[in-house]
Chains A and B, each alone.
Chain A
């Protein structure tokens, strides 16, 4: 009996040592980079199928009332966005005219590296994607990544030789400054790690903020230019005893259907 438990103990110890070696290997950059490329190669066909299926499965678990409420919420958001887009377009026209008056040349100085999403990894601790551009293309950590429609997708989290891992805004490691679309000063600090929404902390109590207001980047972060759309205010948490408000922002970047992203390499 005793020899049997000793035998099991030895087996456990050997398994644990082997696993420990593998766990250490899994943290090395060379293994992570190479395996990322290899796994993305075998995962990408399944990711395409998953994109096609999309959120169809969610309908099974939603009640009729929930679906109607969501539809109404989306319609409200569309209306709100249409109003903002109209205001934005008008402001842009005015700016262009003002720049012409001042004699500035049009055009911007940003360098954007287009990258293809090789594979998406939605796991419990983080939502990240592997893109096909890496250190050789000038990608650096903390650079901003945007979608085709201009919404902030995430930040570069890890860089390998030919690939890079982009973490979504909902990742617990992401921290960046945000502001309201109409304002010029930083409103608060955006933090991930709160499920599908991003928490915006340290917002002053007297701030005039409403549900569905658009939050954009404030430009306080060195690699993230100001004015990139982050998302819409989803909930406002107000504690009369606390000096600050807490906002919960729903990111606008489409996760499911995005296949191409742009990595911003210089300020807009």
Chain B
């Protein structure tokens, strides 16, 4: 299929030279000009994002499910999510070089140089609002939240990156990993502790089987890069990036901050503000204020710890560098998780 023809058919006139790199082609698609100035905001295997003035264009992963993406974009545009999700400039994705492309208004991100100023309360309130949206009124069919699929992908990347340990060890007879002595170094801080920690999770959390039924609308990939604000967003913070949006366990959206906190990466003050604001706003994922949130958060927080550590080790191996301090804390968390008993699956339906 001729992608440039598809791009033109979907409403933009400019056709960049076929040899132009994807970001330049994306900028031309976004503006309708042949060679506009643009700024590359992200270029990863799961998405390329450019900014041209007040427009942001995203080329989604080549293997995105087009029907699921279409529903996710309709949800972002739905009035029920106004004030929570940033709405797209156009309700449907186009196509460029075989990849779905969506257009969004530009919003100012959280200042990555000043993480101490991060809007933890706003993030928590947006998540609580997202988790409280009645599903029946939303466009459908509602896709599943892709958090567990992202964990599976992180583990595949770890397996590809290799190293001395090359994948999940058979469940039987695995030796326990010693806990971190006094929070210091752990011997054998490598891929094996991540595989051992992954084995403590239920299969659904590793994306190996469908998640249990039920759930609420979840973002699926919350981190501080997923918040923007600006005139287009009415001045308040909004959540962006709907690629993993769907129905699932709301604890997943709290699990990254929970995993950072449990590893000693995030201070108790920031975590307390985030959790407190979420509960005050009526979020359902962590029980009422005053009760222990960890029974509700534990599986998802372990899952995000495994995912973060797997990606850290994979990136370090791919770039032939050592783990930085924070990455090492996440792998140390895996070493402690690995001392828990492996998850025992309940009886399977016949």
Q: Do A and B come from one complex?
A: no
